[in-house]
Amino acid sequence: MDQAAASKGAPLAQLSHISQIYTNGRKRFVAIQDVNLTVSEGEFVALVGPSGCGKSTLLRILTGLQPPTEGQVLYRGDLLNDVNPHAAIVFQTFALFPWLTVQENVEVALKAREVPAKMRTSRALDLLDRVGLDGFETAYPRELSGGMRQKVGFARAMAIEPELLCLDEPFSALDVLSAESLRGELLELWQSGNIPTRTILMVSHNIEEVVLMADRAVIMDKEPGRVIANLNIGLAHPRQRKDQAFLEVVDRVYGLLAGQTQPEHIELGAMPGELGRLRGLPDVPINDLAGLLEHLAEEPNNRGDLYRIAEHLGLDSDHLLTLVEAAELLGFATVAQGDITLTPLGETFAEASILARKEIFASRLKRFPFYKWLLSMLREADQHRLRRGVIQTALEREFPPDEVDQQLNTAIDWGRYTELVSYDDDDDVFYLEPAGG
């Protein structure tokens, strides 16, 4: 299936049957599985999905920074075999040269593009003016706020006059106000047609940001990273976050991302070393999970719209969706069509005493294959103790490298909370308390 839903103009960049597989010893991680995606001239496309679903990898593949394991990248119909000279990427935190002024930081990009020296100054000044940095030309990066530094990043990306501007979480490192004003400025610049950029592709895990800015949301899921939906946003600009139509689209994106709760054996997945998909522990503090369940317990019918909950609890969508995943895994809630509903067990948990909560949580955690595996390893170990390194090595065969530490840390937090597994920080050892001790 080609995921070019609403092409505005001619196809600019096309991904055809792209897969990215990383190998670690004998283990293969499918970071991206068979993605087809076309971005066309005139489109503002957003890639949205949970952390680790392969958004940044797709961006690197699309711009030629990384060759895919399988599949083809086409740019204006031609096979892309190298870094795409017509594309630029703005990263989450833009690395500026601290010893150069704002203006010089932009001129560097022009120099790299072999713009003649005498034209560089006027071009740099013009670009800085367009991103609203007029008056800051001679400042050094350290004198600027995060938002302003990111604007220099935009100016520098724009200096190479990219046809395809790729933005990798460009606003996520900024404070709320700077992010919102920079979003507005970028949209204005894009809509004014005042820049040579034909197409914008933005990676984001912020649902509201996507609905505010993009024409189309390409929705991804992880394990393996893949495209699960294409949604034409279809709202006229300027968009208002409080409008009913806006909220309906946000609700749909939440619905697509949160999916639908599966039968328990599918939700729980397989054990390390077994065939089948291993589910890791979602990276959530138990207090936050309890907060979500308590909130739902106060809602009519113990049910809520995810987007309203995000707003009410002041949670970003990524964090909320991870909490929801944890609630589903533990059997505390079910999800369908963007709504979350407490199960009777979830309701019991929300209303239970501290001690009873621990017991409920422990009984659920014991059913979770990954935790069952950890407990059985510890039961079989000498003195029921295992060094962190041993578990780490075992997990390195199961999880991508950057996830192993998170899995270990969550296993420790949840183990301590439920008193199922203890951890000695001084010796970095997992152990089981003696029975009755």
Residues of this chain that bind ligand ADP (CB under 6 A) = 22, 29, 31, 49, 51-57, 225, 400-403
Indicate the residue among 280 and 346 with the shorter CB distance to ligand ADP.
280
Is 107 or 223 the residue whose CB approaches ligand ADP more closely? Answer: 223
Closer CB to ligand ADP, residue 64 or residue 415?
A: 64
Could you tell me which residues are beta bridge partners of residue 48?
A: 204, 219
Closest CA to 358 of 301, 293, 286, 411: 286
Region class of 428: left (phi > 0), else alpha (psi between -120 and 50), else beta: left
- Token pair listed for 138: 């001679």
Q: Kindly tell me which of 277 and 416 has the beta carbon lying closer to ligand ADP.
A: 277
> 128's torsion region: left (phi>0), alpha (psi -120 to 50) or beta?
alpha
Query: In angstroms, what is the minimal distance from the CB of 411 to ligand ADP?
Result: 18
- Is 38 in contact with 2 (CB distance < 8 Å)? yes
Residue 409 token pair: 């840390």
CB nearer ligand ADP, residue 219 or residue 333: 219
At residue 64, what is the residue type?
G
Residue 134's H or E segment, with its range, is none
Q: What is the distance in angstroms between the CA of the first residue and the CA of the last residue of the chain?
A: 58
Q: For residues 25 and 77, which CB has a smaller minimum distance to ligand ADP in the complex?
A: 25
> Which neighbouring-strand residues pair with 270?
278
Task: Report in angstroms how near the CB of residue 68 gets to ligand ADP at its nearest.
Answer: 12
Instruction: In whole angstroms, give the CA distance from residue 278 to residue 379.
Output: 21
Residue 394 phi, psi (nearest 5): -65, -40
**Residue 178 or 204: which CB sits closer to ligand ADP?**
204
CA dihedral sign, ordered 143, 148, 150, 156: negative
Count of positions (residues) in the chain: 437
Name beta bridge partners: 431: 385, 422
Query: In the block, which residue shows the tokens 């709320």?
Result: 176
Which of 280/415 has CB closer to ligand ADP? 280
How far apart are CB 133 and ligand ADP at their closest, in Å? 28
CB of 312 to ligand ADP, least distance (A): 26
Separation between Cα atoms, residue 230 and residue 37, nearest integer Å: 10
Provide the minimum distance between the beta carbon of 322 and ligand ADP in the complex, in angstroms, as a whole number. Answer: 12
Nearest-approach distance from CB 145 to ligand ADP, in angstroms: 25
Among residues 220 and 342, whose Cβ is nearest to ligand ADP?
Answer: 220
- Distance from C-alpha of 74 to C-alpha of 4, rounded to nearest angstrom: 14
Q: How far is the CB of 45 from ligand ADP (least distance, A)?
A: 15
Nearest-angstrom CA–CA distance, 75 and 84 = 8
* 255: nearest Cα among 294, 211, 225: 211
Q: What minimum distance in Å lies between the beta carbon of 368 and ligand ADP?
A: 20
Q: Least Å distance between CB 219 and ligand ADP?
A: 12
Task: Report the nearest approach of ligand ADP to the CB of residue 51 (Å).
Answer: 4
DSSP state of 432: P
Q: Which is nearer to ligand ADP, 162 or 225 (CB)?
A: 225
